[in-house]
Amino acid sequence: MKIGEKIRFLRQAANLTQEELADRCELSKGFISQVERDLASPSIATLVDLLEALGTDLRTFFGDRSEEKVVFTADDFAVKRDAEAGNDITWLIPNAQKNAMEPILLSLDPGGSTWPDNPHEGEEFGYVLEGTILLQVGNRRLRVHRGESFLVHPGEPHCLRNPGRRKARVLWVSSPPSF
């Protein structure tokens, strides 16, 4: 691993000059230049200061994300069927609870619904892929048709229902994860 190359990349991504980074860390511009060219090695304390000024930390900097899975297939999905409510929830990203958002695919049988969700922090986004759904937020009931989307700031109880005679499918993203 070339530490200097990664520091240069982070500095440039932060739109900082070598001099600006040096000033933030009380170092010389020449030292930053040498570190970026791998001609000098910073102490651990100095590296921590540099990374903090660049908006990251040691764990993230040295973490190997190259092996992190990026593309997921149906084999990775988890599905939960709720026969009583008439819905299927498909988690599209495994372990999404550790992420800032959680995408699911919600399938609602004719007459199916989600259970009412009590007020909570965050936002929820939905895009209707098939059918029409009835979105209830507090006392409001809104029809959302195929090709339309919705955004809920869940400060009130809310749920989805399928009033139609065909299955409805919704791509639903919750931030932070709540499913």
Q: Domain segments of the chain: what residues? A: 3-62, 74-175
Distances, alpha carbon 26 to alpha carbons 11, 22, 56, 137, 141, in Å: 15, 6, 18, 53, 58
pLDDT for 113: 97
Res. 81: pLDDT tops 90: yes
Share of the chain above pLDDT 90, in %: 73
Average pLDDT over every residue of 161-166: 96
* E strands in the chain: 78-82, 87-91, 102-108, 123-130, 132-137, 140-145, 149-152, 158-161, 168-175
Calculate the CA dihedral of residues 54, 56, 58, 63 and round it to 10 degrees.
-120
The yes-or-no answer to whether 3-62 and 74-175 have a common fold is: no
CATH architecture of residue range(s) 74-175 = Sandwich (2.60)
Average pLDDT over every residue of 73-99: 90
Per residue in 127-146, pLDDT (tens digit) is 999 999 999 999 999 999 99
3-state secondary structure of 161: strand
DSSP 63: -
Average pLDDT over every residue of 46-67: 86
Q: What is the DSSP string of 123-139?
A: EEEEEEEESEEEEEETT
Res. 98: pLDDT tops 80: no
Res. 116: pLDDT tops 70: yes
Per residue in 34-45, pLDDT (tens digit) is 999 999 999 999
Q: For residue 100, name the pLDDT band (cuts at 50, 70, 90).
A: confident
pLDDT for 60: 87
In CATH, the number for domain 3-62 is: 1.10.260.40
pLDDT for 126: 96
State phi, psi for 134 to the nearest 5 degrees: -110, 115
| 96 vs 87, residue with greater confidence | 87
Share of the chain above pLDDT 70, in %: 96
Q: For residue 110, name the pLDDT band (cuts at 50, 70, 90).
A: very high
